């Protein structure tokens, strides 16, 4: 990657002043990295330039792109944060600092056999960096993606470590941010290093099968195009081929029988509106016989990372099984770019809502509430609170589910969360006064985990109900710490005297009518 290429690319998306600033940052980084080389033998600056190119490609705001250019200067050269702040402003300096902190946290993990963050200290640095501004992680993803694409120049043991870390930490992080394309690129690259034999084998197997089915699929495609044209739809249709890594994962689930995998190749239909998605689904089901168990409405119930689409698998008259995915242009854009799709080029306003580190705010869509929850964990770590490694691991890397309040508000919880976790997420006062739960209209036990899509109603009583046994029926660090605090106040566990607890409880009752969120 050359300076010219990056600037010419940037000219399509940013105004003249911003491109000038970008040129300035490139010159600054070039002078500091002067003499440094990548393992490939190329000048070091090619790396930050590639990172910046990725960030422009993903549609990030100009500050993030500048920070991408500068991301290795403070760690690897004599450049200082003060200088960067003076030249490029506080936001850029803040981002560069965040990226540097994440690298330092990783450096501390170097001796560990697994690269998953193992120590609280390192992970807390990572959290603090992320909690304040998610753009830091997006820069790290751009950095990692380029490092993965030049991994062939590294010694074999390093290749393995970096590939493993990419698969275990960075790809899930990209997935969490809804950045499907980046996740897939990382997984494919990482898998090709971790298990090159299997990778090549599956690649060859896939090619063979695709060759056979492409022609048949072409017939289905033409039929669908014809039918949708007849109904006057504006649409795009294209084929999508399953990635090697997701094929590998799926094969493990179906005992290695590739014949059981129906979505090696799928047809993707992109339309203008949500209503059109459902109309198209109806038309397709009129043309072909759907496999009932495989109809998925990720529009009504999005995946925890925000992914939306209708999926259906149909059987054609010639007994061919075809997966069809239907989505709007917006849904498609989100599926590819995820959170990055929310950073509009010229709209600094939008960016601001993602950078707020105020508790309980942030203007994030429901599927990204976990970022707020991470910010809270980060704040507690900064306050010196002791949080177990397990709790952090759950909050960071666990799978998420969506549940709904009876009013339809959406809440995001880790997989395996209990109803009390929900109650405490809504408000710690509601948690404390919980008497029973109704899930989807039925009585639900305290120790039975919630599922994605559940509607959860909390039945409360006037008097506090919190008891010690509840500690076994919460999993999120948020609920645990609130509950523990309340139990102390109620004198049910050690911490403060019973008398003090009563006084404090009275005091808190007085302000307890205030139902403002305390998250």
Q: Are 404 and 410 in contact (CB under 8 A)?
A: yes
The smaller minimum CB distance to Mn ion, of residues 72 and 175, is found at 72
The smaller minimum CB distance to Mn ion, of residues 143 and 323, is found at 143
CA distance 361 to 18: 29
3-state secondary structure of 191: helix
* Beta bridge pairs of residue 236: 270
Q: Are 243 and 187 in contact (CB under 8 A)?
A: yes
The smaller minimum CB distance to Mn ion, of residues 33 and 444, is found at 33
Q: How far is the CB of 93 from Mn ion (least distance, A)?
A: 17
Q: How far is the CB of 143 from Mn ion (least distance, A)?
A: 4
76 tagged catalytic: yes
Residue count of the chain, please give it: 519
Residue with tokens 């290795």: 72
CA distance 382 to 385: 7
Query: Which x/- pattern, by CB under 5 A, does the window 120-149 give for Mn ion?
Result: -----------------------x------
CB-closest chain residue to Mn ion: 143
The smaller minimum CB distance to Mn ion, of residues 141 and 450, is found at 141
72 part of the interface to Mn ion, by CB under 5 A: yes
Contacting Mn ion within 451-510 (CB under 5 A): none
Q: Which of 39, 38, 64, 34 is nearest to 52 (CA)?
A: 64
Nearest 5°: the CA angle 45, 336, 331 is 150
> Torsions phi, psi of 408, nearest 5?
100, 5
Nearest 5°: the CA angle 331, 333, 337 is 120
The smaller minimum CB distance to Mn ion, of residues 69 and 247, is found at 69
Q: How far is the CB of 226 from Mn ion (least distance, A)?
A: 50
Token output for 391: 């709790």
Kindly report the number of other CB atoms within 10 A of residue 41's CB atom.
7
The smaller minimum CB distance to Mn ion, of residues 72 and 376, is found at 72
Q: How far is the CB of 47 from Mn ion (least distance, A)?
A: 6
Q: Which of 57, 75, 205, 415 is catalytic?
A: 75
Q: Which of 5, 57, 63, 76 is catalytic?
A: 76
Query: Which x/- pattern, by CB under 5 A, does the window 31-70 give for Mn ion?
Result: ----------------------------------------
395 tagged catalytic: no
Q: How far is the CB of 74 from Mn ion (least distance, A)?
A: 11
3-state secondary structure of 89: coil
Kindly report the number of other CB atoms within 10 A of residue 196's CB atom.
10
Span from 17-25, 72-80, 260-268, 309-317 in contact with Mn ion (CB under 5 A): 72-80
165 part of the interface to Mn ion, by CB under 5 A: no
CA distance 193 to 103: 22
**Size of residue set near Mn ion by CB under 5 A:** 2
Q: How far is the CB of 247 from Mn ion (least distance, A)?
A: 30
Question: Active-site positions?
Answer: 75-76
Can you give the binding site for Mn ion, defined by CB under 5 A? 72, 143
């Amino acid at each position: 990657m050359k300076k010219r290429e990056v600037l010419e690319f940037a000219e399509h998306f940013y105004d003249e002043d911003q491109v000038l600033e970008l040129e300035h940052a490139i010159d600054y980084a070039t002078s500091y990295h002067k003499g440094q080389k990548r393992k490939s033998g190329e000048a070091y600056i090619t790396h930050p330039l590639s990172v910046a190119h990725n960030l422009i490609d993903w549609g990030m705001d100009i500050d993030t792109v500048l920070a991408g250019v500068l991301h290795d200067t403070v760690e690897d050269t004599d450049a200082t944060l003060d200088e960067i702040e003076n030249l490029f402003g506080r936001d850029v300096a803040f981002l560069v600092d965040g990226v540097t902190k994440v690298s330092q946290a990783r450096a501390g993990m170097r001796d560990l056999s697994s690269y998953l963050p193992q120590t609280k200290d390192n992970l807390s640095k990572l959290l603090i960096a992320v909690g304040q501004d998610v753009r830091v992680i997006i820069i790290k993803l751009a950095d990692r993606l380029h490092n993965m694409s030049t991994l062939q120049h590294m010694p074999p043991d390093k290749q393995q470590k970096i590939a493993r870390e990419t698969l275990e930490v960075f790809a899930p992080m990209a997935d969490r941010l809804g950045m499907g394309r980046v996740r897939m690129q990382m997984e494919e690259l990482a898998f090709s290093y971790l298990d090159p034999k299997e990778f090549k084998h599956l690649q060859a197997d896939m090619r063979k099968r695709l060759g056979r089915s492409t022609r048949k699929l072409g017939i289905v495609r033409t039929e669908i195009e014809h039918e949708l044209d007849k109904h006057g739809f504006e649409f795009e249709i294209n084929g999508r081929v399953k990635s090697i890594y997701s094929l590998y994962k799926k094969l493990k689930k179906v005992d290695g029988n590739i014949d059981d995998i129906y979505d090696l190749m799928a047809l993707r239909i992109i339309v203008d509106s949500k209503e059109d998605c459902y109309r198209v689904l109806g038309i397709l089901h009129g043309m072909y016989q759907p496999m009932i168990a495989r109809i998925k409405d990720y529009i009504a119930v999005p995946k925890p990372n925000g992914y939306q689409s209708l999926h259906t698998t149909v059987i054609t008259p010639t007994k061919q099984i075809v997966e069809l995915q239907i989505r709007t242009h917006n849904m498609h854009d989100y599926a590819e770019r995820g959170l990055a799709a929310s950073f509009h080029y010229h709209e600094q306003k939008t960016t601001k809502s993602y950078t707020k580190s105020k508790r309980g705010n942030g203007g994030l869509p429901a599927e990204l509430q976990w970022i707020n929850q991470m910010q809270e964990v980060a704040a507690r770590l900064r306050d010196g609170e002791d949080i177990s490694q397990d709790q952090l691991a759950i909050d960071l890397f666990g799978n998420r589910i969506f549940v709904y309040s009876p009013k339809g508000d959406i809440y995001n919880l880790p997989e395996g969360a209990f109803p009390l976790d929900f109650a405490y997420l809504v408000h710690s006062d509601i948690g404390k006064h919980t008497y029973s739960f109704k899930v989807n209209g039925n009585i639900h036990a305290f120790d039975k985990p919630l599922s994605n899509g559940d509607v959860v109603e909390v039945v409360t009583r006037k008097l506090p109900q919190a008891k010690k046994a509840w500690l076994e029926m919460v999993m999120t660090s948020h609920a645990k710490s609130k509950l523990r605090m309340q139990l102390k106040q109620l004198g049910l566990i050690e911490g403060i005297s019973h008398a003090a607890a009563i006084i404090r409880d009275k005091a808190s009752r007085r302000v307890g009518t205030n139902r403002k969120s305390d998250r």
